[in-house]
Amino acid sequence: MPGITKRKYVGEMMRFAKSLKGPLNKIYEVLPCEYDGEILFKYFKILYPHLWKDIKERYQLYQNKDKFLVKNKKKRRYKPLPPKKYFFSLPKVKHILSDRQKLKHKNNCQNEVQKQKFLKLKQIRDNKRKIREEKIKKYKETLQEIEPMFIDILINFYYKKGNSVHEKMEIVKEMQKYDSKKVIEFFYKLNDSERNNQIRKIAFKHLQKLGYYVKLRKNFKGKKKSYMLEKTKFQVTPKELFEKIYNKETIQHLKKYDFFISHNYLDYELIIELKNKLNKKGYRLYIDWSSDNDFLKRNLSEEYKKFVIYVLQKRIEQSKKVLFVFTNNSKNKSWWIEQELNYAKIGKEILCVNYLNELCGFKEYKELK
């Protein structure tokens, strides 16, 4: 392993191992009077499941790096230990499992007291785990957990020679709408090798908010090129999306979906639930406030209203079918729903997810039942 790479890797290993000392000390305080390695390991997974997840993801991360090197006919650099083996290799774990520490613990221990300590710590940890999981769940709420049909197109466009930071940011924003294997690999690659500081930090924060193990790549050393320091606010309008979507050279023109979801925004929670069910069945969806959230701002002036409807019409063309969500909020069709359904009638099959015991006007979609 080259000197610089080795120093970075060793430094990261030391920092990660150090971050586990505090949790392991707390576990040591609640262990039963007599314990062994398996009990310590069991307690660690129960009390700090997110750290155990980090250990597993960290292993997979460095495994993938080694596989990439071997694929390119280079030697493995990292050779990470499997998760459980890594756990028992930690200096703190070895210290806790030493005969001296076991004896010290036993001499100052009462099993009933230890049980109470364990339950108290578990309650604290469970509360913190729930808070963390809620934050991740909220962040992932509108994301589609499926590979977009145009994933390879997006990646190829990103690495197209001559792309500006603004053009790359458009692809990053698009990728952030999905949580899938290829998308996560893409963001890990950006965090590792993207030279633009703004985009690299966005990739890091996105992975972190999704709950994945990630370490922020430091700024590249040496003379800073203008591309590295360039920034974009990516403030865009429906008119700009309209122009992009009808330009055959852009990613917006090439997008494809299984279903265009025609609905009332007041059914937000219901749409999120529907989105999750359809993603599990392998369907990619177009939902305007999620799929085009950077461009479509319906609260803008009337000047932009026509561009919004043109965009929605194009998204209907890019979708195999239209799915009308029939609820109390949508049965008296709004102007937007009327526009969508009237346009879809020209050449698209319209199905209805019927949440009311009434005729919805279209063939009902039975696959969810």
Domain contains 134: yes
Q: Quick one: 33 and 50 in the same domain?
A: yes
Q: Quick one: 11 and 131 in the same domain?
A: yes
**Overall average pLDDT of the 217-229 stretch:** 72
pLDDT (tens digit, 9 = 90+) per residue, 247-273? Answer: 888 899 989 999 999 999 999 999 999
Joined tokens for residue 23: 């949790």
Q: What is the pLDDT of residue 299?
A: 59
Task: Name the residue range of residue 207's domain.
Answer: 151-229
CA distances from 189 to 61, 155, 183, 358 (A): 11, 11, 10, 50
Q: Quick one: 21 and 85 in the same domain?
A: yes
Domain contains 172: yes
Q: Quick one: 72 and 98 in the same domain?
A: yes
Contacting residues for 191 by C-beta, under 8 A, at least 6 apart: 200, 203, 204, 207, 214, 216, 217
Q: Which of 340, 349, 364, 367 is catalytic?
A: 340
pLDDT (tens digit, 9 = 90+) per residue, 8-58? Answer: 788 888 999 999 999 999 999 999 999 999 999 999 999 999 999 999 999
Rounded Cα distance between 317 and 309, Å, is 12
Domain contains 145: no
340 flagged as catalytic: yes
Domain boundary among 229, 256, 274: 229
Contact between residue 279 and residue 290 where contact means Cβ atoms under 8 Å apart: no
Q: Quick one: 103 and 168 in the same domain?
A: no
Joined tokens for residue 93: 């774990």
Joined tokens for residue 56: 């597993």
Number of Cβ within 10 Å of residue 326's Cβ equals 24
Distance between the two ends of the chain, CA-based, in angstroms?
Answer: 56
Residue 297's pLDDT band (boundaries 50, 70, 90)? low
Rounded Cα distance between 213 and 83, Å, is 14
Rounded Cα distance between 97 and 36, Å, is 7
Q: Is the pLDDT of residue 301 over 70?
A: no
